[in-house]
Amino acid sequence: MTPFAKGRLTLRVIPATIPSATPYCGQSGLEGSVMGDASYASKGLRVVLLGTGTPNAEPDRSGPSVAIVVGDASYLVDCGPGVVRRATAAQAVGIEALEPKKLTRLFLTHLHSDHTAGYPDLILTPWVLDREEPLEVYGPTGTQAMTEHILAAYSEDIRDRLSGLEPIEAGGYLAQAHEIKSGVVYEDDQVTVEAFPVVHGSLPSFGYKFRAPDRIIVISGDTAPTETVVKAVRGCDVLIHEVYSSSRFELLPPAWRRYHSKMHTSTRDLAEIAAEARPGLVILYHQLSWGATEEELLAEIRDRYDGHVVSGQDLDVY
Ligand SMILES: [Zn+2]
Ligand SMILES: [Zn+2]
């Protein structure tokens, strides 16, 4: 297994435009980095990797969740286990938009448990921490039913908090589910969010493209290699893409090779996607490494792709 970095829960800030994986401020903290800069909020769109994990319960990788942050607004993509605590860790070092009570928008790529096990957390924890508005949730068919079932499962908690002594807002626990189709699914003064279909077995699954005046970000979600990603990525600044190790894949039992080759994207495939679409930066997340180191994963891609690519870690900021 991959050795886990010991206790690294600080942010490392990495400028997307510098052709290097060298962290902007080192891995030891934020002193002197942009995050310590009071003008951070005015710096345009930023990506915060809240969780880069998979169904494997790696201590240093929370379940998949990416936060797009623009000023004081946040837009979360997926909510794997640990999402609210990772958001709080980011807030603690200066990203105020990720204060729990400000987590009001969620975009789900698909309904696999590794991407949604934090959904009750995201509905309920920020409510206890002063969120006054409902969570607005955009996701595939099934999102409405999942939302209703979570609220039903926690009905005793909700009833008790509303009827007891807690000074708590009545509407803050609600979640408004919007089941989406491909195309523009959300728009406000800061961002436009477009969903595009990806290939992930029988589950309806989407990738998302965020457009802000200064940057365009594409998030793959879970997917086998597909032309829709290539199309979405052309002209974008940052592609955040899931990946598995092509070399370690060869060591898997045949049944798992069959599964992963139909459901996910190898380093080899991703190198081809990147070479065709040429994003400004590729960030690996949801890494299925099966014991390969991050350097090995990156080397597998750099073998076939000469653009900028980094391996994301929880709480990286780009
Ligand atoms: Zn997944
Ligand atoms: Zn999945």
- Determine the Cα–Cα distance for residues 144 and 78; give it in Å rounded to an integer: 15
Q: How many whole angstroms from 84 Cα to the centroid of ligand 1?
A: 18
- Would you kindly state where each structural domain of the chain is located, as residue ranges? 27-180
- Which residues are the active-site residues? 114
CATH code of domain 27-180: 3.60.15.10
Q: Which of 313, 218, 309 is nearest to 18 (CA)?
A: 309
Sheet of 192-197, strand order: 183-187, 192-197, 206-211, 216-219, 238-244, 281-288, 309-311
- Determine the Cα–Cα distance for residues 241 and 277; give it in Å rounded to an integer: 13
**What are the phi and psi torsion angles at 185 (to 5°)?**
-110, -10
- Residue 257: the pLDDT is 97
Query: What is the number of the ligand closest to the CA of 198?
Result: 2
- Determine the Cα–Cα distance for residues 35 and 185; give it in Å rounded to an integer: 30
Query: What is the number of the ligand closest to the CA of 64?
Result: 1
Q: How many whole angstroms from 112 Cα to the centroid of ligand 2?
A: 5
- Determine the Cα–Cα distance for residues 10 and 22; give it in Å rounded to an integer: 15
- Determine the Cα–Cα distance for residues 231 and 50; give it in Å rounded to an integer: 26
Q: How many whole angstroms from 222 Cα to the centroid of ligand 2?
A: 5
If you count DSSP H runs as helices and E runs as strands, how many of each does the chain have, helices first? 10, 15
- Do 65 and 107 form a contact (C-beta atoms < 8 A)? no
CA-to-CA dists, residue 189 to 70, 181, 196, 211, 213, angstroms: 10, 22, 21, 11, 10
- Do 208 and 194 form a contact (C-beta atoms < 8 A)? yes
Over its length of 318 residues, how does the chain's per-residue pLDDT go in tens digits? 333 333 455 667 765 543 333 333 223 233 223 333 434 445 699 999 999 999 999 999 999 999 999 999 999 999 999 999 999 999 999 999 999 999 999 999 999 999 999 999 999 999 999 999 999 999 999 999 999 999 999 999 999 999 999 898 888 999 999 999 999 999 999 999 999 999 999 999 999 999 999 999 999 999 999 999 999 999 999 999 999 999 999 999 999 999 999 999 999 999 999 999 999 999 999 999 999 999 999 999 999 999 999 999 999 999
Phi-psi sector, 26: left (phi>0), alpha (psi -120 to 50), beta: left
- Determine the Cα–Cα distance for residues 78 and 71; give it in Å rounded to an integer: 20
Q: How many whole angstroms from 164 Cα to the centroid of ligand 2?
A: 39
Determine the 3-state secondary structure of 263 from DSSP. helix
- Residue 42: the pLDDT is 52
- Determine the Cα–Cα distance for residues 228 and 95; give it in Å rounded to an integer: 32
Instruction: Report the length, in residues, of the chain.
Output: 318
Query: What is the number of the ligand closest to the CA of 80?
Result: 1
The conformation of residue 307, written as its DSSP 8-state character, comes to S
Query: What is the number of the ligand closest to the CA of 114?
Result: 1
Q: How many whole angstroms from 42 Cα to the centroid of ligand 2?
A: 34
Q: How many whole angstroms from 32 Cα to the centroid of ligand 1?
A: 35
Here the tokens at position 112 are: 């696999």
- Do 287 and 243 form a contact (C-beta atoms < 8 A)? yes
